[in-house]
Amino acid sequence: MAVDLPAHADREQRILRLWERAVGRSRWHRDEALLGEARASRALGDRNRALLAIRNALFGSSWPLRSDCPACGAQCEFPVDGAALARSLNDRPPADPAARFDWHGRPIAARLPDADDLRHIACHDDIDGAARALLARCLPADVELAQLDDDDLAALAVWLEGLDPAALICFSLTCPDCGKAWPAPFDVADALWAEVQRAAELSLTDIDALARAYGWSEDQVFALSPIRRAAYRQLVAGS
């Protein structure tokens, strides 16, 4: 017999469907699965906006995050307003794939870095190697990167980042233990997947426990209010 599911169950089912599409895949295929039918281009900023929209729709605007201090290793927790973050990305100028700039007296046109570029450079273990590989993919072939020093590479990297202002999300943090301040880059896809995986595992644990104890179907478990479900789960755990 079909069960009429309440509105709160729709969110849980959407999370499980998202988890089912993405679980067990490589990092890059997982990101594609998370984006699903979102109409995002390969541009990193577009993908960040789409991933944030998915995250806010499934989990709300409150987003508790954490990062390890690079100086002492302490775990620093900080809350983020997902809705405000999404607005800030939407307020940033759109990606400019045709920008040109002057480099030591010559005009240079660069291609906008995208998700395929990040996938390509993921094999590099060191930041310098990854930066050079990314620049090599996005800059004209006659720019001799091997002859550039660290300052030149940094300047080119900053310019490329400016082509797509929503591509890089970074939080300024200060360690509450040692006082170290640092910029913490934020990977939206990684953080979303962590939430999806955690929520899906909790749902599956509940479904398994209540199905074993009462013989209920998945839809019957979904139909329970969160309070009643928690009560039944507590009874099962105490039996």
Domain that holds residue 190: 7-92+171-238
Q: Does 86 fall in a domain?
A: yes
Whether residues 200 and 179 fall in one domain = yes
Whether residues 81 and 178 fall in one domain = yes
Q: Determine whether 203 is exposed, middle or buried from the number of CB atoms within 10 Å of its CB (0-12, 13-18, 19+).
A: buried
Q: Does 2 fall in a domain?
A: no
Whether residues 182 and 68 fall in one domain = yes
Count of all residues that appear for the chain in the document? 239
Q: Please give the tally of structural domains in the chain.
A: 2
Whether the Cβ atoms of residue 101 and residue 30 lie closer than 8 Å to each other: no
Q: Which two three-digit tokens encode residue 167?
A: 């591509």
Q: Which two three-digit tokens encode residue 184?
A: 């913490």
Whether residues 104 and 214 fall in one domain = no
* The domain boundary residue, chosen from 116, 136, 163: 163
Q: Does 135 fall in a domain?
A: yes
* The domain boundary residue, chosen from 163, 181, 197: 163
pLDDT in tens, the chain (239 residues): 455 667 788 999 999 999 999 999 999 999 999 999 888 888 999 999 999 999 999 999 999 999 999 999 999 999 999 999 999 999 988 777 767 878 777 888 888 889 999 999 988 888 888 888 888 898 888 888 877 788 888 888 888 888 898 999 999 999 999 999 999 999 999 999 999 999 999 999 999 999 999 999 999 999 999 999 999 999 999 88
Whether residues 15 and 73 fall in one domain = yes
pLDDT of residue 1: 47
Whether residues 175 and 112 fall in one domain = no
Alpha carbon of 159 to those of 135, 164, 189: distances in Å? 11, 10, 24
Single out the residue of 207, 193, 204 nearest to residue 22, CA to CA. Answer: 193
Tell me which residue has tokens 């979303």: 192
Whether residues 73 and 22 fall in one domain = yes
Cα(193)–Cα(110) distance, integer angstroms: 31
Single out the residue of 164, 161, 183 nearest to residue 174, CA to CA. Answer: 183
Whether residues 33 and 60 fall in one domain = yes
Whether residues 206 and 136 fall in one domain = no
Whether residues 12 and 56 fall in one domain = yes
Whether the Cβ atoms of residue 175 and residue 74 lie closer than 8 Å to each other: yes
Write out the DSSP string of 105-122. TEEEE-PPPBHHHHHHHT
* The domain boundary residue, chosen from 124, 142, 163: 163
pLDDT of residue 151: 86
Whether residues 112 and 15 fall in one domain = no
Q: Does 1 fall in a domain?
A: no
Whether residues 11 and 83 fall in one domain = yes
